[in-house]
Amino acid sequence: MPILQLLTPTRYYLLTPLLVYINTGIFLIMVLTGPGFLTFDMNHWANFLGANVGFLTLDGQWWRLITSVFIHGGLLHLLFNSLVLLNVGMYLEPVVGRWLYSLLYVFAGIFASLTSVWWHPNGASVGASGAIFGLYGVFLALLTSNIFPPDVRKAFLKGTLVFVLINLGIGYMIPMIDNAAHIGGLISGIVMGFMLLPLIRSRLQRLIREGRIRMHQT
């Protein structure tokens, strides 16, 4: 799908491109208010009143658990997270609906940040990848159920598993990547996906009956 189409909001695909625009806007504000473009130093993250800096978060600045999800450490960080968010969002958002999608994103992001603080309380982290891993976790939960026809399940399950495992492997090999947040987000997404399965199944069946979503089964 062309990138411009992925960045164009529609009735059933609204929050995913909106999140990309919000993250990009915050990144531009950071560029205009301090040094950095390809990368930012930790002091700029902290001074921006949003990074998940362990000792500050644990000292009562709990808003950092969610604000850190909307801050990125540099241009490549933002671009990569935007691409993977668009990739999962174009399939998941129309199925779960924008309001549930937004809650899943926020709660996965918070749980990812909590896991990060627990794993390295003296560290600092930023980025949407924990929340995005949460969305992939929800998608995995749905793909391992019978909510989708078998051909749809097969088409996406293998690719999603490969993506998750490769990125967790990369995070394991590169110390600066916050794999704790990735794992926390992924686990929270899987749990939320299974918990909300009846609600999502009901919505999906209604959309199929109304002809708003079409699925092919072999």
134-190 per-position pLDDT tens digit: 999 999 999 998 887 787 788 888 888 988 999 888 888 887 788 999 999 999 999
- Summary mean pLDDT of the chain: 87
Handedness of CA 123, 124, 127, 132 (dihedral sign): positive
Lowest average pLDDT, out of 27-41, 85-99, 129-143, 161-175, goes to 27-41
* Distance, CA of 65 to CA of 106 (rounded, Å): 10
Domains of the chain: 3-209 (1.20.1540.10)
Q: What element of type H or E holds 15? A: helix 15-33
| Residue given tokens 């967790």 in the structure block | 168
Instruction: Count CA atoms closer than 13 A to 6's CA, side-chain side.
Output: 15
**pTM passes above 0.95:** no
At residue 38, does pLDDT exceed 70? no
Residues 89 and 135 sit within 8 Å (Cβ to Cβ): yes
Lowest average pLDDT, out of 23-37, 110-124, 172-186, goes to 23-37
Residues 4 and 81 sit within 8 Å (Cβ to Cβ): no
Active site residues: 129, 182
At residue 39, does pLDDT exceed 70? no
Q: Residues with Cβ < 8 Å from 137, sequence gap 6 or more?
A: 108, 185, 186, 187, 188, 189, 190, 191, 192, 193
pLDDT tens track for 5-19? 889 999 889 999 999
pLDDT at 31: 84
